[in-house]
Amino acid sequence: MATILIVDDDRALRDGLAETVTDLGHTPVPVASGSEALARLHEGPVAAVLLDLRMPGDLDGMATLERIRALPEPPPVTVLTAFASPANTIEAMRLGAHDHLTKPIGRADLAAVLDAMLREARFDPGSAAPPPEHPVLIGSSAGMRKIQKTIGLVADSASTILIQGETGTGKEEVARALHAFSRRRARPFIPVNCAAIPADALESALFGHVRGAFAGAIADRAGAFHEAEGGTLFLDEIGDMPAAMQAKILRVIQDCVVTPLGGRSTRVDVRLVAATHRDLPQLVAEGRFRADLFYRLNVVPITLPPLRERLADIVPLAEHFLVPSGKRLSGGAASRLLAYEWPGNVRELRNVVERAAMLVRGGAIAAEAIDLPAMRTDRRGGDTADSWLAGDLPGAVARLERTMIAAALREADGNRARAARRLGIQRQLLYAKIERYGLAAPGADLSEETTEAVGNPDAARDIDPS
Look at residue 384 in the predicted model and tell me its pLDDT.
Answer: 46
- CA–CA dist 57, 42 (Å, integer): 20
Segment 221-238 shows an average pLDDT of 94
Residue 444 has pLDDT above 50, yes or no: no
Look at residue 189 in the predicted model and tell me its pLDDT.
Answer: 96
Look at residue 253 in the predicted model and tell me its pLDDT.
Answer: 92
| CATH T-level assignment (fold) for domain 3-119 | Rossmann fold (3.40.50)
* Helical segments of 259-392, H only: 280-285, 291-297, 311-322, 331-338, 345-359, 382-389
Look at residue 448 in the predicted model and tell me its pLDDT.
Answer: 56
pTM score of the predicted model: 0.66
Total residues belonging to the chain: 466
Per the model's pLDDT, the better-predicted residue between 188 and 123 turns out to be: 188
Segment 26-49 shows an average pLDDT of 92
CB of 65 closer than 8 Å to CB of 92: yes
Per the model's pLDDT, the better-predicted residue between 303 and 453 turns out to be: 303
How far, rounded to the nearest angstrom, does the alpha carbon of residue 352 sit from its chain's CA centroid? 24
Look at residue 190 in the predicted model and tell me its pLDDT.
Answer: 95
User: Tell me, what amino acid is at 21?
Assistant: V
Residue 354 has pLDDT above 80, yes or no: yes
pLDDT tens string 137-146: 888 888 899 9
Q: What do you get for the CA distance between the two ends of the chain, in Å?
A: 29
Segment 172-181 shows an average pLDDT of 94
Average pLDDT score, the chain: 84
Look at residue 136 in the predicted model and tell me its pLDDT.
Answer: 61
Task: Return the CA Rg of the chain.
Answer: 26
DSSP state of 127: P
CB of 306 closer than 8 Å to CB of 165: yes
Residue 164 has pLDDT above 50, yes or no: yes
Look at residue 312 in the predicted model and tell me its pLDDT.
Answer: 87
User: Tell me, what amino acid is at 33?
Assistant: S
**Per-residue confidence at 46, pLDDT binned at 50, 70, 90?**
very high
Segment 236-265 shows an average pLDDT of 91
Look at residue 140 in the predicted model and tell me its pLDDT.
Answer: 83
Angle, CA 7 vertex, CA 16 and CA 139 arms, to 5°: 90
Q: Does domain 142-303 have CATH number 3.40.50.620?
A: no
Residue 363 has pLDDT above 70, yes or no: yes
* In the chain, % of residues over pLDDT 90: 47
Look at residue 331 in the predicted model and tell me its pLDDT.
Answer: 85
Please report, for residues 34, 58, 129, 331, 383, the alpha-carbon distance to residue 350 in angstroms, rounded to integers and kept in the order given: 41, 39, 33, 18, 24
Parse the chain into domains and list their residue ranges: 3-119, 142-303, 307-391, 402-459
Look at residue 350 in the predicted model and tell me its pLDDT.
Answer: 94
Segment 433-458 shows an average pLDDT of 55
**Per-residue confidence at 248, pLDDT binned at 50, 70, 90?**
very high
Q: Identify the CA nearest to 129 among candidates 159, 84, 96.
A: 96
Neighbours of 40 (CB within 10 A): 17
For the segment(s) 307-391, the CATH number from 1.10.10.10, 3.30.1360.100, 3.30.2130.10, 1.10.8.60 is 1.10.8.60
**Per-residue confidence at 335, pLDDT binned at 50, 70, 90?**
confident
Residue 462 has pLDDT above 60, yes or no: no
